[in-house]
Amino acid sequence: MRIDILEMEERRARFILRDATPAKANALRRTMLSDLPKMAIDKVEFHLGSIDVDGKDFESVTPLFDEVIAHRLGMVPVPTDLDLFTFQEKCVCEGEGCPSCMIMYSLNKNGPCTVYSGDLEPLGSPDLRVKDEHIPLVELSNGQSVLIYAHAVMGTAKKHVKWQVANGVGYKYMPVVTVRSSANAKEVEESCPRKVFDVDGKNLVAARPMDCILCDSCVEIDGGKSVSVKGDDKNFVFTFETDGSLSAEKALRKAAELISEKTKAFADNIGEMAV
C-alpha cells in the first residue's frame, strides 16, 4: 500500500491510496473518523453568584443554560500536540490531571458582549490558544458575566463526536477513462457534469480523468462506443478535512500509525491462538 499526495493543505488533504483493496481503504476511512486522538473540553466549572469588577456588580447569569454553554465549549476544536499529550488513563498521573494529559482554560467576560471561542485563555503555553477564534459561545447583556474554568482532555470519536478530528472522509475508485472514438466528441464533452473531456480539433481527449465521478453520462450517449469508464478497485482517490485540532498531515500520519499498530496486534493475537 502506498500514498501519493495530490493536495496537502493545513486542514484538507487529497491523495491516492495505491495497491490497496476496498477493505483497506475502508479501514483507513474508519480509523480517520473514529480512532484519531485529540484534546477537547470535557469538564467545565462555572462560577456562581455576583462578580465585582472595578466597583460594578455583575451577575453570573447568561441567556443559555450552563449545560448548553458547556456543550458548546466541548465542540470548540482544541489544538492538539500528540507528542505532548496523552490519554488520562495512560498518563503517569493515573488520571488525576497533569500538564501531560490536561489543558486548563479560563473564560472571563462581562456583558454587554458576545463571548467567542477566542476568549478562552489557556493556563500555560500560548500555543494552546484555540485557532478558530470566532465561534460564538453566548451573548451577554449589560450586568451579565461568565467566569468559567474548562478542562480539555484527550479522547477519540468512539466516545463523543467532540473528539472527532477528521470529517468529510471519503474515497472513490480511481477513474479509468478510455477514449475509443471521437465521432460524438462534442456530445460526450457536453454530457460530462465534471468537465472531464476536452475537444482538441476534432479529437476527444480525457483531459481531467481524476475529476470523473463514474456517473456514466458519457457512456450513455452512444452505449460506450466513444468512451469507456471503469473504477479501479486497487487504487482510491481519498479526501478528508480536519477540524483544525490536528493538521491534515499529522492526522494522516497518525491514522497510518494506528492501522499499523492494530494490524500488528491482531496478527500477534492470531499467532498466539495458533500456538
* Beta strands in 201-226, from DSSP E residues, in sequence order: 203-206
For residue 95, the minimal CB distance to Zn ion (Å) is 7
Q: Which is nearer to Zn ion, 101 or 138 (CB)?
A: 101
By CB under 5 A, tell whether 101 contacts Zn ion. Answer: yes
Binding region for Zn ion (CB under 5 A) out of 25-33, 83-91, 237-245, 248-256:
83-91
For residue 84, the minimal CB distance to Zn ion (Å) is 11
For residue 171, the minimal CB distance to Zn ion (Å) is 37
CA distances from 208 to 6, 34, 174 (A): 14, 33, 12
Residue from 6, 8, 68, 98 binding Zn ion (CB under 5 A): 98
3-state secondary structure of 92: coil
Site string for Zn ion, 15-34 (x = CB under 5 A): --------------------
Q: Which is nearer to Zn ion, 96 or 220 (CB)?
A: 96
Binding region for Zn ion (CB under 5 A) out of 43-51, 101-109, 209-217, 225-233:
101-109
- CA 199 to CA 211: how far, in whole Å? 16
Residues binding Zn ion: number (CB under 5 A) = 5
By CB under 5 A, tell whether 93 contacts Zn ion. Answer: yes
255 Cβ neighbours under 8 A, 6+ residues apart: 28, 31, 32, 35, 36, 166
Q: Which is nearer to Zn ion, 100 or 156 (CB)?
A: 100
Q: Which is nearer to Zn ion, 104 or 166 (CB)?
A: 104
For residue 100, the minimal CB distance to Zn ion (Å) is 5
- CA 196 to CA 194: how far, in whole Å? 6
Binding region for Zn ion (CB under 5 A) out of 44-52, 95-103, 134-142, 221-229:
95-103
Binding region for Zn ion (CB under 5 A) out of 49-57, 90-98, 170-178, 244-252:
90-98
Q: Is 249 left (phi over 0), alpha (psi -120 to 50) or beta?
A: alpha
For residue 128, the minimal CB distance to Zn ion (Å) is 15
Residue from 20, 91, 107, 259 binding Zn ion (CB under 5 A): 91
Binding region for Zn ion (CB under 5 A) out of 14-22, 85-93, 156-164, 266-274:
85-93
CA nearest to 80, candidates 256, 241, 260, 242:
242
By CB under 5 A, tell whether 94 contacts Zn ion. Answer: no
Point out which residues bind Zn ion (CB under 5 A).
Answer: 91, 93, 98, 100-101
